[in-house]
Amino acid sequence: MPHDLKHKRIWVAGHNGMVGSSLMRRFAKDHIKPLTVDRASLDLRNSADVDQWMSIHRPEIIILCAAKVGGIGANSTYPADFLYDNLMIEANVIHAAHKYDVEKLLLLGSSCIYPKLAEQPIKEDALLSGYLEPTNEAYAIAKIAGIKMCQMYRRQYGCNFISAMPCNLYGIGDTYDPENSHVIPAMIMKFEDAKRQGKSHIEFWGTGTPLREFLNVDDLTEGLICILEHYNEEMPINVGSGQEINMSDLAHMMADISGFKGEITFNSKKPDGTPRKVLNNCKVNNLGWFPKIELKEGLEVAYKDYLTRI
C-alpha cells in the first residue's frame, strides 16, 4: 500500500530553496498545502525553537530539504559552517520528529556522501567504504551523520525515517551566485555574461572529458514523492537520471541554448575533478520512478528562469 500523502500535514522544511519550491509547485497541483516556515521565523539550527515549532504545528510527514548547500568554492572556504549548520539542522529536526511522533521523515542527502573512488555507477552500499572527496568533506560528513540519525532512530525507536541521495540537480529556483554555484548555474551565468559583454571566447577549467549526471529538480520531486509513498527501508536510496554527459558536450549544449557564437576552450592545466560520477539508480527505478525531462529541454527552462531573475 502506498503511503497516503493527500490527507497528511506535510512540512516541507526549506520550501524556498530549489528542491523545496519544486515540491511546493508539485503539491499545489494536487491541492495539497504543506506546512512551511521561513528561516527568518525559524532558524533550524536552534533546537529550542525547532522543538517549540514542532510542538505547535505537529507535522505528520517531514521532507527535510533545508540545508546549507553550495559549490566547491563555498565548501572549501566555509567548511566549519557547512558542518555545523547541516549537523544542527538535521539533529534538531530529526530528534523533534521522533519526539513528536512524526509518521515519516525524508532526509535529502547528496551523491557527495559516497567515497571519492567508489565503483561507478555508485550503489547505495558504497556508503562509508572509502575516503571522501576532500573539497566537500565537511558537507558530506554532516549528510552522513543525518543518514545515520535516520537509521539509528529507526533501530532504537522504530521511526520510519528514510534518506534519498540525489545526483547533481539543476532547474527552476537554482542558486545563481558567482561565489557559490554548482556547475550548471555557473555555466548559465558565464554564457549569459559573455553574450552580454560581446566576448568571443569562453574558457572552462579542465579537459572537458569528466562525465557527470544531472537531474532536473522537477524530476527529482516526482522521485521524492514516489520514495515517500513506497520506500520504508534504512538504507539510503539514490535518485539520479542515469544520463551522463561530459563537460565539453554540456558547454556546447549550453552555448546553443544561450545563443553564444564564440569559441569554447578547455584549459587542461586546471584540475578536472573526478573523471566520472554517476549513481546506480536501480532501487528507485524498481519503485517505478524514471526521469522524464530531457537535459536540453530542462536547461532551456533553467536558462529562461535565470533571465527572469537577473
Ligand X SMILES: NC(=O)c1ccc[n+]([C@@H]2O[C@H](COP(=O)([O-])OP(=O)(O)OC[C@H]3O[C@@H](n4cnc5c(N)ncnc54)[C@H](OP(=O)(O)O)[C@@H]3O)[C@@H](O)[C@H]2O)c1
Which residues contribute to the site for ligand X (CB under 6 A)?
14, 16-20, 39, 43-45, 65-69, 85, 89, 108, 110, 166, 168-169, 175, 182
Which C-beta is closer to ligand X: that of 132 or that of 194? 132
Which C-beta is closer to ligand X: that of 182 or that of 283? 182
| 34/88 Cα distance (integer angstroms) | 23
Which C-beta is closer to ligand X: that of 75 or that of 110? 110
CB 140 within 8 A of CB 115: no
CB 8 within 8 A of CB 60: yes
Cα torsion for 36, 37, 39, 43, to the nearest 10°?
-110
| 152/110 Cα distance (integer angstroms) | 19
CB atoms within 10 A of CB 31: 7
Residues 6+ apart with CB under 8 A from 62: 10, 11, 13, 93, 97, 102, 104, 105, 106
CB atoms within 10 A of CB 120: 18
Nearest approach in angstroms of CB 162 to ligand X is: 14
Nearest approach in angstroms of CB 306 to ligand X is: 14
Nearest approach in angstroms of CB 4 to ligand X is: 24
Catalytic residue among 139, 153, 170, 303: 139
SS3 content of the chain, % helix, strand, coil (to 5): 45, 15, 40
Which C-beta is closer to ligand X: that of 168 or that of 280? 168
| 22/16 Cα distance (integer angstroms) | 9
Nearest approach in angstroms of CB 45 to ligand X is: 5
Which C-beta is closer to ligand X: that of 175 or that of 209? 175
Residue in the shown chain whose Cβ atom is closest to ligand X: 17
| 76/82 Cα distance (integer angstroms) | 9
Nearest approach in angstroms of CB 97 to ligand X is: 15
Is 176 annotated as catalytic? no
Query: Catalytic residue positions?
Result: 139
